[in-house]
Structure 1
Amino acid sequence: GTGKNSVTRNAYLKQFYGLEDDPQDPMDKFRSYSAETSPMDKIKEMQRFYGLKVTGDLSPETMQIMKQSRCGVPDVAEYSLFPRKSKWNTNIITYRILNYTPDISRADVDIALEGALRVWSRVTPLTFERLYEGEAEMMISFAPREHGDGNPFDGPGSILAHAFEPGPGVQGDTHFDEAETWTMGYEGYNLFLVAAHEFGHALGLAHSRDAGALMYPVYAYTDVTRFALPQDDVDGIQALYGPSINTDPSLPKPPARAPEKCNPNLDFDAVTKLRGELIFFKDRFLWRRHPQEVEPELILITIFWSSIPPNIDAAYENSENDLLVIIKDTKYWVINGYDILPEYPKNLHNLGIPRNVEKIDAALHIQETRKTLFFIGDEYWSYDEIKQTMDKGYPKQIMDDWPGIDGRVDAAFESRGMPFKGPKAIKNKNYYMMKGHRPETLTNFPFFMDAA
């Protein structure tokens, strides 16, 4: 969304982490805080919540999260506007839609909001009953800026909506920022996804630190046609209301929590070096592994690059030009830092990949030769980044140049100054070196992530 930069550091920390103005020095908002309430302390609290490196400084990653569009409910329970662990004392909850956004049809608003309520009723004994007049437990409305609850919206971007936990009056109500562009799809902000999150608050749930959870505070689009409530959210709502009485076997299985780096069955969509770090892509997430850091950071891909889809096929760094290339299906994006170059995505076939290829398995840029290798099935192609053409004599058989690999490659990357230098291909959680480099047999994913 637009206008994300309008949220200053202190305004963000006040709204979501309880930063208070210094009563001893109302003219100076920066210097006279106690150690426990200073902006630095609140930044550390935020960094711990999001699993970032805890420095107290406004690192680029911290700034990126501050710029993201998100829910208006605070991340830290004790600074919320309402008491925690509240719940409705009935399993039949009434709701009323007070008005409609002009962005989509009234019928689509009804479909989105009713679908968002069903997300929660499917896994609990709750049922939702719509009222068309009078006071409902959950009053739902669209409003811009100041709208009477003491928590004004901020225009397009940043805060998308907020909701109040169960209780009388405004408690249980949900307000959507009318300044946003509400949609049923990928563009703008998907009303179903935002509503499902906010209704979680209206039922008593706080924000989750699990980056894969619906109750994670930052907005991230996911495919709504196959939406299933993530396990973290299922556990949270069932802790309040219990499980559903009638289990529907046709319901999609909840996706797992954000992937665990030490899972021995873990595999990756893509792996690449990026500005000295090793980046592992999986589903909607990425890990950043810096050589000097003990733990890799797990972050939603959309925190860095909002329009990159989940489940990518390949990624590689062209370090000479300080560019990152991400590939999914027949599209590729070129990225510099946090910015996707404006003319992208482009069609992968523009690089000279055969037109009958609809998906690649992995990509690997070799810094020494300025060549990028594309792995497809049991073959690979070589692309000359300087001439911007495919090299003659390709494709070649992978197994001829990569001993031990007799089929599809899962991911590939080149490492320098790492435990095993040189180009690597990954298959079935094992690492293989290109012929002419040593050693040939490497190790499995979790170890390598820790050892990287």
Structure 2
Amino acid sequence: KETLVRTMQRNYGLPITGQLDDATVTYMMAARCGHKDAPAEFNTFPNRDHWTTNPVTYKIKGYTPDMSPCQVRNTFKKALRVWEEVTALDFVESQSDNADMIIYFGYQEHGDGYPFDGKDGLLAHAFAAGTHALAGDTHFDEGEFWTLGNGRVADTYFGNANGAPCVFPFIFQNVEYSTCTTAGRDDGMEWCATTRNFDTDRQFGFCPHELLFTYGGNANGDPCTFPFVFLNQTYNTCTYDGRSDGYRWCATTSNFDRDSKWAFCPDRSQGTDGGNANGASCSFPFIFNGNSYSECTTVGRSDYRKWCSTTPNYDTDGKYGFCQGDGYSLFLVAAHEFGHTIGLDHSNSQGALMYPMYQKFTNFRLPQDDINGAQNLYPERRTTPLQPLVLEKCGGDFFVDAMLYFGTEIFIFQEDKFWRWNTAPPGPYPISSQWPDLPSSIDAVYQKPNDGPLVFFKGSKYWMFNGARIMEGYPKHVSTLGLPSTGNFKMDAALNWRRSKRRRRTYFFVKNQFYRYNEEKGKMDRGYPKPMSVWRGVPNNIDAAMEDPTRSRYSMFLKGNKVRYLNNYKVEVLQTDPMEFWLGC
């Protein structure tokens, strides 16, 4: 036993006494990485396994309900950037199942022969670069509560706060709220203020909720339907029934037994764990044994776990759940595990990121021990500057400014960025990097027939480009196309219609109307604009439009997070999918 203790103390950089003193026991019980230890400062694997190709691709195959998929993707980008900054490695997200790294969240036995152990204990594990099937793969224990280290990360959706996080407590109609609430609404949707006082600032967003969206499953993000029937029982809330992995789920139609449509429920912004409230949020203040509580408490429990009531009065309702606390920083754990994937073993330097035990860092910077290890494996230095890290905008309204099918690529424009969806890396890229003569964002774009120029719209002006080169005489006013000359004009979308002979017709969509432009004659057709109702199933004020790259008889219309597929010959929407489903993310 003494030999084992001495080995453990050596691996953790502790005084080597062979005795189970308090410090040694504390380290033994702490949360940690699931990879085995080795005594050294920075340390590489025995065969010096490392990436021999660059860039390295990764695919995220599963997400956690603790954070939004957008937050998870951004966090992994930041964690990979830690190693990009000290080596010449580049990490690129891929949608291919053959990506170099497969990343997902698993529960207990999750398919690799190295089961997780539930809450605390082992947090994650990763496999070093190599040629075997699991090389580079990284798995996180879904039994943990994943955050950025300081409690749940909660975006808001829709509303008017552009995705800003909730601010608690906040004032609404002179009442203070410490959780998301349905007060003032009759649709059951939980919301929060994004400043301290809604009454004065009027800033709000909707909180993550199963009536707003779901993820995973087979329902393409549709919200839950309540009540629903599962195994002949009726459910009015998300449930754990039928699953052993700790995920809450719901049906997205009224009868799962008949339709088999289902998805996972997002965790609430201040949701609880365990108890009997199915993940409902704490309700503050609440009454317990006649006393009022305005925060989670250990009163009434012999195990000292913090809990709360999920209704205003526990004494009458008996509904409760356990409070989640700060959780584990997904960024820090991911950065550590990605260190394993590039070839670093554990370090016994207590300040190192690759130290085996979970540590919190303030204002994180990669310690020198880790830099030394990475550069020992990858001595080559960058020959070109590292591109700025571009993160997704999480929360708010999902939107696309414009889309373009150009050659074999799909270009997606959002604010000052664009993505090239059929190429790698897909982006995002600054619009100015490809079309420096354009404004910082655009409203619409299309390509003229027969591989003609690209036409971009912003406000009351339009630009014409041959590839990336602006054509002489541009920009011009939209009135030269026969469109309104008003100063507040905004094009919603432009579509050169595949159905029209020689593609001579281009349609311009503006609010609740559309115009038809004759490309051969260079002028607007008579009798326009006409109402959008002609395009059956296409809403007013669309975000973008383009031809369907996979089906010649269809066009695509986008609004919010929905893609509507219009049959060009019936002029009717026959299919609708979530944007994320179409993009494959």
Fold shared per TM-score above 0.5: no
Q: Which one scores higher on RCO, CA 8 angstroms, separation ≥ 6?
A: 2
TM-score interval, normalised by the smaller of the two chains: 0.3 to 0.5
Between Structure 1 and Structure 2, which shows a larger proportion of helix residues?
Answer: 1
TM-score calculated relative to the size of structure 2: 0.34
TM-score calculated relative to the size of structure 1: 0.44
